[in-house]
Amino acid sequence: MGFATASASIVARRIQDLGRMPVRSAGEDNEASLHIAAKLGFAEVSRIVQLNTFRARHPSQTNPTDGTK
């Protein structure tokens, strides 16, 4: 068992010990996270669509709030 799997397992178990249900979230292209979740017995029950509203600026543009590049 790798470090990430062991860590996630400990956290999930502790959450269960507190009488709660552990949940997880990861991007659908994050194969490592999906693999760990599968090993720990997590099951997909729903999907959430997130929209990224970040708009990249060209390096030559300045930040309108403080004038920095």
Residue 46 placed within a domain: no
Q: Is 34 left (phi over 0), alpha (psi -120 to 50) or beta?
A: alpha
Instruction: List pLDDT tens digits, range 4-59.
Output: 999 999 999 999 999 999 999 888 889 999 999 999 999 988 888 877 777 766 66
Mean of the pLDDT values across residues 60-68?
A: 62
What is the pTM assigned to this prediction? 0.62
- Does residue 54 fall inside a structural domain? no
pLDDT band (50, 70, 90) for residue 68:
low
pLDDT at 16: 96
Contact 11, 22 (CB under 8 A): yes
Tally of domains within the chain: 1
**Is residue 67's pLDDT more than 70?**
no
Tell me whether residue 59 is in a domain.
Answer: no
